[in-house]
Amino acid sequence: MRNEFSVIKVVNKLKECLPSGEFNALHEPKFSGNEWTYVKECLDTGWVSSVGKYVDQFEQKLAEFTGAKHAVAVVNGTAALHVSLLVLNVKPGDEILVPALTFIATVNAIAYCGAVPHFIDSEYRTMGVDPFKLKDYLVEVAEIRGEYCYNKHTGRRMKAVVAMHTFGHPVDLEPLLAVCHQFNLVLVEDAAESLGSYYKGKHVGNWGELAAFSFNGNKIMTTGGGGAITTNNASLAKQLKHLTTTAKVPHKWEFVHDHIGYNYRMPNINAAIGCAQLEQIPQFIHSKRMLAKQYQAAFETMEGIACFKEADFASSNYWLNVLLLDEAVTDQRDNLLELTNEQGIMTRPIWTLINKLDMYKDCPKMDLSVAESLSRRVVNIPSSVRLGESYEK
């Protein structure tokens, strides 16, 4: 057959899209703006730690960019998720609905609260939560008593859905919100991978009650390590700020703390890098969208494989590009991973489903057939901002 799938063909196509003779990482950061200037100012003035003008500025600029009313900067995305669940009053024994196909931090944050993750399936259009399948499932297993939602089988209260926008692709938020309303569940967005992504023209993070972002070194923009929570709820924003700054009651000299708080505040020196990165985020997003277009064109006619495209309701930041293997050729996935990594093209499979990990193997779950299929079929390919720049017009 002329057009038959072959790993060699995939590698050659990737080489056509990438600069030759270089190692191409999955995602490397880019520092081409005011990073050095702002960091130097922190060092020169001594404002390197948990107080300083860049932290406030970063929060303000991030709120402006995402369109959220409030942003609270924290030490990393995992802390952002943890504290989001805490201010929503997630307690030991509560059940939290969460995709099995996500990065481990989404689920760990639930466990930090003593709550039980309840795994739900994903859909092919977004690689994220399938709102329609979730609805059918809840009709079966959930029961509203008073104003609260319970799991009929475990008797535990179900409080929230944490939806994650996989590799920058927004989940189908409107039907998901409808399900949340129907079952009195709060929506939290794990937007760690999706700064610069929009659902029906509105930035992600504005749909749920709270959203967590990450600025780790491998995300679309970085603060070294860092994260943030955005919300349009002023009271939650105030609690978030308080809880992430050791719950200290403001006073000139006295140490009084009114909760068991957390030392989760982002340091000024990290926020300085963040301010410089935020200034460049529109170019970063443009480059990444150009690279995605290039990959999509390159793989358009190849048999057995496709380059993942955003859904029609979404504008994605294309944080990590995805090659989606047909089920029929998944037996060649590991060959593809071997050969590409050998040749300086960094690739990797998607995460192991969280319900398969020892710590979470006994948690409740629904049918996960789509997540299972995606976990066999997805391969991430190099997606750094730098790679898209040569395609810019």
Ligand X SMILES: *Cc1c(COP(=O)(O)O)cnc(C)c1O
Residues forming contacts to ligand X in the complex (CB under 6 A) are: 76-78, 102-103, 105-106, 164, 190, 192-193, 214, 216, 227
Please state the closest distance from residue 19 (CB atom) to ligand X, in A: 26
User: Measured from the CB atom, is 305 or 378 closer to ligand X?
Assistant: 378
Nearest distance from residue 190's CB to ligand X, in Å? 5
- Which lies closer to ligand X via its Cβ, residue 226 or residue 364? 226
To ligand X, the closest distance from the beta carbon of 289 in angstroms equals: 19
Q: What contacts 75, CB < 8 A, 6 or more positions away?
A: 225, 226, 227, 263, 264, 265, 266, 267
Nearest residue to ligand X by CB is: 77
Q: Which of 100, 312, 103 is nearest to 194 (CA)?
A: 103
Helix (H, G, I), strand (E, B) or coil at 328: helix
Which residue lies nearer to ligand X by CB, 25 or 298? 25
Tokens of 6: 């072959």
Q: Residue 306: in which H helix or E strand, if any? A: strand 305-307
Among candidate residues 99, 179, 183, the one with its CA nearest the CA of residue 147? 183
- The identity of residue 171, as a single letter, is V
Q: Give the shortest CB-245-to-ligand X separation in angstroms.
A: 18
What angle separates helix 268-299 from helix 7-17, to the nearest 10 degrees? 120
Mapped onto helix, strand or coil, the DSSP state of residue 46 is coil
Rank residues 103 and 284 by Cβ distance to ligand X and give the closer one: 103
**CA–CA dist 127, 168 (Å, integer):** 10
Closer residue to ligand X (CB): 294 or 316: 316
Question: Strand pairing partners for 143?
Answer: 150
Q: Kind and range of the H or E element at 44?
A: helix 35-45
* Residue 35 or 193 having the CB closest to ligand X: 193
User: Pick from 285, 274, 273: which is nearest to 228 by CA?
Assistant: 274
Minimum Å gap between C-beta 374 and ligand X is 14
Q: Which is nearer to ligand X, 151 or 222 (CB)?
A: 222
Q: Which is nearer to ligand X, 193 or 310 (CB)?
A: 193
DSSP 3-state helix, strand, coil percentages of the chain (rounded to 5)?
A: 40, 20, 40
Residue 150: CB minimum distance to ligand X, A: 27
Number of CB atoms found within 10 A of residue 367's CB: 11
Nearest-approach distance from CB 48 to ligand X, in angstroms: 20
> How near is the Cβ of 218 to ligand X at its closest, in Å?
7
User: Cα–Cα distance between 254 and 303 in angstroms, integer?
Assistant: 69
> Between vectors from CA 256 to CA 255 and to CA 258, what angle results, nearest 5°?
150
Cβ nearer to ligand X, comparing 105 with 311: 105
> What is the rounded distance in angstroms from the CA atom of residue 29 to the CA atom of residue 45?
26
- Judged by CB, which is closer to ligand X: 164, or 387? 164
Q: How far is the CB of 105 from ligand X (least distance, A)?
A: 4
Long-range own/partner contacts, residues 373-377 (CB < 8 A, 24 or more apart)? 373/327, 374/101, 374/122, 374/124, 374/127, 374/350, 375/101, 375/349, 375/350, 375/351, 376/325, 376/327, 376/330, 376/333, 377/324, 377/325, 377/326, 377/327, 377/330, 377/333
Nearest-approach distance from CB 275 to ligand X, in angstroms? 18
